[in-house]
């Protein structure tokens, strides 16, 4: 009967340890960055309190960040960052509960209702800042998850996979680039930051970028502004 005991022990370990870890990991992976299907003109007041102009941050540091009212209540965590593909501006955040198994909330946090996007929390005035999904004026289900999409140059070369998105913060948050993973070197994933001059074609499968960006890579956020300036200079030079 030893094999019965081993089987039952194995099932218990799977149910108690492996399954919850797998579910949590899967949920974290589902968080991401969504491009809306088309440009929507919008007028927002934007954040009133902001990080220093020119600050850069990665999308993965924004997802999971707590959304807190000025009265100190935690109302949700950021799940996805939704942006307008025409100019890269962040339109809203989708939200999830904070729990071992987070549950997606139906309400959204529109950018104009964000009081401040800080390094440790997204601040809102109160719970009334959360909006019904209809207020966005766009079906999120039609948007494209950018993280995980393939990066294809306009010359037809696949240069990797979008592993993360780079956001610039200057009173508004907007997409300025991405982290690309292109294979492995010495057993480690090769990841570089690439500036992206929006608008670029974005579908559910891929993002098509100018071929020049392969010459404008940055190893980290510190070097990213220089890479972006180089790309913009090249594009203006070729225009």
Q: Which residues bind other proteins (CB under 8 A)?
A: 49-51, 66, 68-74, 115-123
Nearer to other proteins, 15 or 70 (CB): 70
Q: Compute the least distance from the CB of residue 100 to other proteins, in Å.
A: 17
Residue 92 near residue 34, CB atoms below 8 Å: no
Nearer to other proteins, 75 or 216 (CB): 75
Task: Please list, in sequence order, all residues whose beta carbon lies within 8 angstroms of the beta carbon of residue 212, skipping any fewer than 6 positions away.
Answer: 231, 234, 235, 238
Asked whether the CA dihedral 19, 21, 22, 27 is positive or negative, the reply is positive
Nearer to other proteins, 90 or 209 (CB): 90
Nearest to 82, CA basis, from 131, 143, 129, 132: 143
Residue 139 near residue 34, CB atoms below 8 Å: no
- Residue 161 backbone dihedrals phi, psi, to 5 degrees: -120, 140
Nearer to other proteins, 77 or 138 (CB): 77
Q: Compute the least distance from the CB of residue 127 to other proteins, in Å.
A: 10
Nearer to other proteins, 102 or 195 (CB): 102
Q: Compute the least distance from the CB of residue 67 to other proteins, in Å.
A: 10
Q: Compute the least distance from the CB of residue 103 to other proteins, in Å.
A: 18
SS3 143: coil
Q: Compute the least distance from the CB of residue 43 to other proteins, in Å.
A: 23
Cα 120 from chain centroid (whole Å): 16
Q: Compute the least distance from the CB of residue 111 to other proteins, in Å.
A: 14
Nearer to other proteins, 37 or 118 (CB): 118
Task: Please list, in sequence order, all residues whose beta carbon lies within 8 angstroms of the beta carbon of residue 130, skipping any fewer than 6 positions away.
Answer: 75, 76, 95, 105, 107, 108, 109, 113, 124
SS3 215: helix
């Amino acid at each position: 009967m030893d094999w019965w005991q081993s089987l039952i022990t194995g099932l218990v370990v799977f149910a108690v340890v492996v399954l919850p870890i797998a579910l949590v990991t899967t949920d974290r992976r589902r968080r991401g960055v969504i491009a809306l299907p088309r440009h929507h003109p919008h007028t927002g007041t934007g954040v009133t309190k902001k990080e220093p102009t020119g600050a850069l941050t990665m999308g993965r540091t924004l997802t999971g960040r707590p959304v807190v009212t000025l009265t100190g209540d935690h109302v949700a965590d950021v799940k996805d960052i939704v942006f307008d593909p025409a100019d890269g501006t962040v339109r809203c955040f989708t939200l999830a509960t904070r729990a071992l198994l987070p549950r997606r909330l139906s309400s959204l946090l529109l950018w104009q209702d964000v009081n401040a996007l800080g390094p440790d929390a997204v601040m809102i005035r109160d719970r009334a800042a959360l909006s019904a999904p209809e207020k966005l004026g766009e079906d999120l289900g039609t948007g494209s998850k950018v993280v995980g999409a393939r990066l294809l140059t306009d010359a037809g070369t696949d240069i990797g996979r979008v592993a993360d998105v780079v956001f610039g913060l200057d009173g508004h948050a907007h997409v300025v680039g991405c982290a690309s993973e292109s294979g492995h070197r010495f057993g480690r994933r090769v990841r570089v930051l690439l500036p992206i001059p929006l608008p670029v074609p974005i579908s559910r499968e891929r993002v098509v970028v100018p071929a020049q960006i392969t010459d404008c890579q940055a190893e980290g956020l510190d070097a990213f502004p220089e890479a972006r300036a180089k790309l913009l200079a090249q594009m203006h030079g070729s225009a």
